[in-house]
Amino acid sequence: MKFKIRHEMKGRLRVHIVQEHKMTYEEADTLLFYLQNCKYVTFAKVYDRTGDAVIAYIGERENILSLLRAFHYQAVTVPDGLIENSGRDLNHQFEERLLMRIVFHYARKWLLPAPLTACYTVAASLKYLVQGLKSLWNRRIEVSVLDATAIGVSVVRKDYKTASSVMFLLGIGELLEDWTHKRSVDDLARTLSLNVSKVWKKSEGGEVLVPIDRIVPGDEVVIHMGNVIPFDGTVVSGEAMVNQSSLTGESVPVRRAEGNTVYAGTVLEEGELTLSVMETSGESRFEKIVTMIEESEKLKSSLESKAEHLADRLVPYTLGGTVLAYLLTRNTTKALSVLMVDFSCALKLAMPISVLSAIREAGLHNITVKGGKFLEAVAEADTIVFDKTGTLTKARPTVAEVISFNGEEPDELLRVAACLEEHFPHSMAKAVVEAAERKELLHEEMHAKVEYIVAHGISTYIGEKKAVIGSYHFVFEDEGCQIPVGKEEEFKKLPLEYSHLYLAIDGRLAAVICIEDPLREEAEAVVNSLRCAGIRNIVMMTGDSERTAKAIAEKVGVDHYFSEVLPEDKAGFVEKEKEAGRKVIMIGDGINDSPALSAADVGIAISDGAEIAREIADITIGADDLYSVVTLKLISDGLMKRIRKNYRLIVGFNTGLIGLGVTGVITPTTSALLHNTSTLGIGLNSMKNLLD
């Protein structure tokens, strides 16, 4: 590609792309995607109107120049949906509408004769008058009543200039508010929608993992236990229990078998299904997220809702202030100055945009938040409960040692364990399977149908002998297995630093598989940071033994820990804390964490954990860095501070405008201009990032 360097300084270039035609939106987004995915580029912005690009970089200048020389639009593969939903077209549409409105207003003002201007103003005012009368008819005194009163009084006084200016400023304000809100929604939806998911497609050769956007109606996809169903479809084989609460509100999962219909967004809790996909178009992740953001009132924070209710309640006071100003001064102009100012516009714009912007910013840190109320709850939380495995510890545990208790070779016992565990996608099961694969311990199915008992373990038969594998509680207490005679001392000396998976055959302990699930390097620092951020009670809960739990708790530095807990124990603890008046955050990654995630004020799931946990959770964080929890807390605290600051600023500034209007310092038109300008300024400031 040919380009010219317009401006240059150390670590920064502004270049002009030389091409025969004007740069299109698609070309601008393609170039931006190309630049942003270069490891040397720290910041990039592309201006489609001028064909320029600003690039901030690290390393050698020649690296960037070579990058630009090698660029061709056709050679860049852009992810599906990125160009269509980039927001560039939206911005240009609003810019054109704004420009046309300004040109039309001043052209009419300068070119039309006064009588025609008056007729146009009266005709244009009818829209605002009708809206005001509708509000009064519905017994609501809202902002539309203020607007209608101000415009109506000006028309009655034949002050067409003031009426026209007020309508022009209101129109500009509405346009800018609409643009600001849509931009915030699109920014957020774009952040969330680019998380590409995959699905198992059934083919002649078996199951193939493919991107979800490659599925077309008629394809058959396999849904495994614990996964979200991504499409509406008809069951062609299999039997399962499906949780449809997200659609129907049913608290109990329903049975689905061949011939039944299942719906996108529901969760397969038990069993396995093969679906024939019915529909994929028109229900993109982007569209669903936009709909969720725009329509779901239940996701608003209480502060956000209070701001909206307060805004409506302030309207009668503004009207009363207008009447009072007229009675005291007998000056219509001063009274109109009060009428031109209302608190509700800024409150209704700034509060939602602050929340949307915070959710978008969280997305930049690989944190997906499903609603503003959850950020508020994080800011207010004083208790946080961590699951251990996959949360405080790394997501991929490994087998450190296999200790035989029945005289068989450890590798043979590992082979048996892998044969059982390969059917279930739990992190410890994966560790066993991977350990067997590394040792090339191949096997044929040697057991009957396996039964998976959530948070306990696996039960099956090998020949005539019952085989179980799982936790201490499951193997020894539930199943009543025994330690072989003479092996008691060896059992007591099991290494404490490992988690233990117990394999028993025919009622006797056959092996203990020592699972090394090392702590995340940042775990202790994260706990300390959360404590500094205001979390007073930090708890760890795990299904592991008391010995393992105690060792991990001491290393991390939590306030309390609980071992050998079941899913209902975690949920029960959360409920008790809430009953005691505490705000509780629960963080987990597995199917067994789902009840507690649902019960907590805020449920946070790890992104590579079980899909059912991610579906139930209110917030999802990236798996590669637990510091995301601290970042989330800082964003939430910053959001609450911004909302309170915006409230004080809106009330203070608009009260000042009312005072200036009543004293005659400013005219109604100036009052309306300053009010709308401040509303837009506060809205734009609310879109800024909360963290540096």
Residue 257 vs residue 443, higher pLDDT: 257
In this structure, which amino acid lies at residue 415? R
Angle at CA 506, nearest 5°, toward 503 and 507? Answer: 75
Helix, coil or strand: residue 324: helix
* Whether residue 408 has pLDDT greater than 80: yes
For residue 196, the model assigns a pLDDT of 37
Q: Are strands 367-369 and 232-243 parallel, antiparallel or unpaired?
A: unpaired
pLDDT attached to residue 304: 55
The CATH class, in words, for 3-78 is alpha beta
Measured distance CA(33)–CA(669) in Å, rounded = 45
The CATH number of 216-279, from 1.10.3720.10, 3.40.50.300, 1.10.357.10, 2.70.150.10, is 2.70.150.10
| CATH number for region 398-516 | 3.40.1110.10
Three-class secondary structure of residue 550 per DSSP: helix
Does 192 have pLDDT greater than 60?
A: no
Q: How confident is the model at residue 56 (pLDDT cuts 50, 70, 90)?
A: very high
- The number of residues making up the chain comes to 692
Q: Cβ(6)–Cβ(54) under 8 Å?
A: no
193-207 per-position pLDDT tens digit: 434 357 888 887 778
- Is residue 691 over pLDDT 80? yes
Q: How many CB atoms lie within 10 A of CB 670?
A: 16
Parallel, antiparallel, or unpaired for β 465-470 and 499-505? antiparallel
Identify each DSSP E strand in 18-162 by its residue range: 41-47, 52-57
User: What is the rounded CA–CA span in Å between residue 635 and residue 639?
Assistant: 6
- Give 241's strand partners: 255, 270
- How does residue 262 score in pLDDT terms, banded at 50, 70 and 90? confident
Strands 261-262 vs 232-243: parallel, antiparallel or unpaired: antiparallel
Nearest to 303 by CA among 638, 690, 639, 620: 639
Structure tokens at 239: 């039997």
Q: Does domain 368-393+520-624 have CATH number 3.40.50.1000?
A: yes
pLDDT(294) > 60: no
Q: Which residues contact 228 (CB under 8 A, 6 or more apart)?
A: 265, 266, 267, 268, 611, 612, 614, 615
What pLDDT score was predicted for residue 297? 39
Q: Is the pLDDT of residue 291 over 70?
A: no
Phi and psi (nearest 5°) for 396?
-125, 85
* CB atoms inside a 10 Å sphere around CB 213: 16
What's the CA gap between 585 and 582, in Å, rounded?
A: 10
CA atoms of 10 and 203, how far apart (whole Å): 54
**pLDDT surpassing 70 at residue 573:** yes
pLDDT at 478 over 80: yes
| pLDDT, tens digit, 9 for 90 and up, residues 202-244 | 887 778 888 777 888 899 999 888 777 878 889 999 988 887 6
pLDDT at residue number 144: 79
- Beta strands 254-256; 52-57: pairing state: unpaired
368-393+520-624 against 398-516: fold identical: no
State pLDDT tens for residues 317-334: 777 888 888 888 888 877
Token digits of residue 414: 């590992």
Q: What is the pLDDT of residue 156?
A: 87
pLDDT in tens, 149-171: 878 888 888 888 878 877 887 77
The proportion of the chain whose per-residue pLDDT surpasses 70, expressed as a percent, equals 83
Structural contact between residues 144 and 160, judged by C-beta atoms closer than 8 angstroms: no
Confidence tier at 284 by pLDDT (50, 70, 90): very low
What pTM was estimated for this model as a whole?
Answer: 0.59
What type of residue sits at position 680?
Answer: L
Q: What is the pLDDT of residue 309?
A: 60
Q: DSSP alpha helices (H): ranges in 439-579?
A: 472, 488-492, 523-532, 546-556, 567-579
pLDDT by residue (tens digit) across 416-467?
Answer: 998 888 776 566 788 888 899 899 887 666 655 677 665 567 888 887 889 9
Alpha helices in 387-522 (DSSP H): 410-421, 427-438, 472, 488-492
Q: Is the pLDDT of residue 506 over 70?
A: yes
Q: Indicate if the pLDDT at residue 599 is higher than 50.
A: yes
Burial of 225 (0-12, 13-18, 19+ CB in 10 A): buried
Closest by CA to 361, choosing from 46, 632, 143, is 632
Tell me how far apart the alpha carbons of residues 154 and 164 are, in angstroms, rounded to a whole number: 9
Q: What is the pLDDT of residues 507-551, one digit of tens each?
A: 999 999 998 777 888 999 999 999 999 999 999 998 777 877 888
Q: Is the pLDDT of residue 80 over 70?
A: no
Strand-pair partners of 211: 198
Q: What is the pLDDT of residue 447?
A: 57
Q: Which one is predicted more confidently, 244 or 70?
A: 70
Q: What angle is formed at CA 194 by the lines to CA 191 and CA 197, rounded to 5 degrees?
A: 135
Predicted confidence at residue 557, as pLDDT, reads 93
- pLDDT range class, residue 38, cuts 50, 70, 90: confident
Alpha helices in 513-566 (DSSP H): 523-532, 546-556
Q: How far is it, in rounded angstroms, from Cα 120 to Cα 118? A: 5
Give CA separation, 369 vs 361, 372, 524, 623, 636, in Å. 10, 8, 25, 15, 11
Task: Break the chain into its structural domains and give their ranges.
Answer: 3-78, 92-190+297-354+638-685, 216-279, 368-393+520-624, 398-516
Task: Calculate the average pLDDT of the chain.
Answer: 81
